[in-house]
Chain A
Amino acid sequence: MAEHPELLPYGIIREDLFRPLSRAGSKWWFTVVACFLLVVAGLAAWGVQLRDGLGVTGLNRPVFWGLYIVDFVFWIGISHAGTLISAILRLTDAAWRKPVTRAAEAITLFALMIGGLFPIIHLGRAWFFYWLIPYPNARLMWPNFRSPLVWDLTAIVTYVTGSAIYLYLPLIPDMAQLGAHNKPWRRKLYKALSLGWTGSDREWHALEMAMKLNAVIILAVAISVHTVVAWDFSMSIAPTWHSTIFGPYFVVGAIFSGIGALIIVMATLRRTLHLENYLIKRHFDNMSKLLLTMSLLWFYFTMSEHITIWYGNEPKEMGVFGQRTRGDYAFWFWLMVFVNFVVPVTLLGIKKLRSVKTAVIASFGVLIGMWLERYLIVIPTLVTPRLASATSVYTPSWVELMITVATFAAMIMLYLLFARLFPIIAVWEYKPHSPEEED
């Protein structure tokens, strides 16, 4: 088929990309309903936790952080798929980015919405979460600005706001196109979202400028967000958490898992929405190379982190190191190394093996591996506290597992709804410059 989607006539492109908005198959309905039920089950589990207390989790003394924090770091990591990748590609003017950016930016927004919930779910008194927000209040108190959790809240709120704007700006011209014809309720929605876009030169210039500025700002925000998430750990004095490398290590891990998520989403969209002409092999090839690079970087960071602990041989740190490499968590640790490093390097590093299918397989492995990485950072440290008498074990409860499953369902559901409401590829970007070429 066409090697470059740009060479297709604009009329066909518009037809192809707007078609998914008007037709929903039974498979789509089935998946959305199934995911919705899982989300409801997750909310019910949260309800049980709010009613009874955090005792319904597997947390104990000294394992005060568990699956919720693992999920939190994981989802904030996934959010680095979109904005960061799309901003880099936009700023470097990579021509092949057109069909990838919006799909990526949507992941960011949804992953942040989900990830941002976990610190609240995790609170002992979740209904008072707003006490962390600095605003003039009846308690006459500011939050403690020295706490990394306040930095975290600030970073994530900034990132969600920025990502929402970043996703929305390039949607405006498409909204205007869709507002012209459609079912009445959709016409209303698209018209409202188009903000009265007429397509004048002045508007295009303003939009172009806004998108460029936003890309630069969001790049800095994205990197700082995951650094701050890492600082939640490294600002503490717990063995192996107190590490200077955690900021960049977490950012690399986040981009790594984000690219994995993006490859899976791209392959699914291509298959289900028949976008074979748009998401071509070249896109997967490029994304595979990016994933491969990140896999090597991840390995470099993981090795730096562990080899210094091992060589330094400090007893408390070695306790955690031992738990990871040959203790209770050894299986998961070596599985993580296998799926995060061995699999991607073999499947994507050898040119003959590199294909859409192997990229998807490697990406699933990376998602599992990166979730495990966060688990292996949070739990082994907490089960081996400095005073041996406080040592404990941690087994997640059904409530924690249910909520974790529900967030994956929420991601799929939100994405499916998004793909039916908005064109998943920015149509206007293919629009020819002179009006004669339009038909």
Chain B
Amino acid sequence: MVIDLDRCTGCEACVVACHSENNIGMSTPEEAARGRVNHWIRIDRYYEGQFPDIKVKYRPVLCQHCDEAPCEPVCPVNATYHNPEGLNVQVYNRCVGTFYCANNCPYTVRSFNWFDPKWPEPMQLQHNPDVSIRPGGVMEKCTFCIQRIKRVEDQADAAGRPVADGEVQPACVQSCPAEAMIFGDLNDPDSKVSRLAGDGRATKLMEELGTKPKVVYLEKAR
């Protein structure tokens, strides 16, 4: 995935889209004040300059699907692991909730179901049937909308053709009005994401930790 920070307006449409696509439980204002917000993607704000001459920069932060993910080796029950396609996946049914993965994630993108998930009426009617609902006590995080990836792959298989570049669109990518997010196959050198990842503006978040993140941020050098 590539995220163009110079295009991001911080509108948080991706956050809302992610919530409804992935059946993420809704926190209450009181719980949120205690640090119990439940988002798979969040917008970090960075301020530059002195008031009133101030500039705000936004950075959407989601699971970086690291190739060397620190969360994976520490899980005692193999609830988080690398699938053959290179995604860092979370198997909810295996998770017992030791929290170790979340502590070892330098991006703090994992969220925990502190209680059984709840939705204010009538939000529960818009649940996505393709995504399971996680019970309380289980860790969860961004999946790159694996259900959408699978659906496109199945359709391509049925038609006997390869998956086209840009055919898979996670909910955040689809909803981004500024078209700041692009999703594709980094293994395909001709894909749009591969070309953008070679852009001079490309950076990765905390690459120095050796996590090999798969989210590329595009940012004008200052």
Contact = CB atoms under 8 A, between A and B. Distances in A.
B11 interface: no
23 contacts: A52-B115, A53-B137, A55-B31, A55-B36, A59-B114, A60-B36, A61-B36, A62-B103, A122-B99, A125-B95, A125-B97, A131-B77, A141-B77, A143-B77, A143-B78, A144-B76, A144-B77, A149-B100, A150-B76, A236-B70, A237-B70, A387-B44, A387-B108
A375 to B, nearest CB: 16
B62 to A, nearest CB: 12
A192 interface: no
Given A54-B97, A132-B77, A143-B78, A124 B139 contact: yes
Contact of B99 (A124, A131, A144, A148): A124
Interface in B27-68: 31, 34-37, 42, 44-45, 61
A393 B36 CA distance: 11
Contacts of A55: 31, 36, 114-115, 136
A123 B108 contact: no
A424 interface: no
B23 to A, nearest CB: 17
B44 A382 contact: no
A187 interface: no
Contacts of B96: 123-126, 128-129, 131-132
A380 B47 CA distance: 25
Contacts of A23: none
B95 A143 contact: no
A61 B116 contact: no
B65 to A, nearest CB: 17
Given A132-B76, A132-B96, A149-B76, A53 B116 contact: yes
B36 A237 contact: no
Interface in A97-135: 119, 122-126, 128-129, 131-132
B181 interface: no
A353 B92 CA distance: 59
B76 A389 contact: no
A144 B75 contact: yes
Interface of B: 31, 34-37, 42, 44-45, 61, 70, 73-78, 94-100, 102-104, 106-108, 110-116, 135-139, 206, 209
Contacts of B77: 131-132, 141, 143-144
B99 A64 contact: yes
A131 B115 contact: no
Nearest to B139: A124
The interface residues of chain B, by DSSP majority, are classed as: loop
A389 B206 contact: no
A91 to B, nearest CB: 34
Nearest to A237: B70
A236 B103 contact: yes
A78 B90 CA distance: 36
A65 B99 contact: yes
B35 to A, nearest CB: 3
B70 to A, nearest CB: 5
Interface centre among A60, A62, A124 (most CB of B within 10 A): A124
Contacts of B137: 53-54, 123-125
Contacts of B94: 131, 139, 141
Interface in A63-96: 63-65
Contacts of A382: 103
A26 interface: no
A182 interface: no
B99 A389 contact: no
A390 B61 CA distance: 11
Nearest to A241: B103
B184 to A, nearest CB: 25
A153 B108 CA distance: 26
Contact of A124 (B36, B70, B103, B136): B136
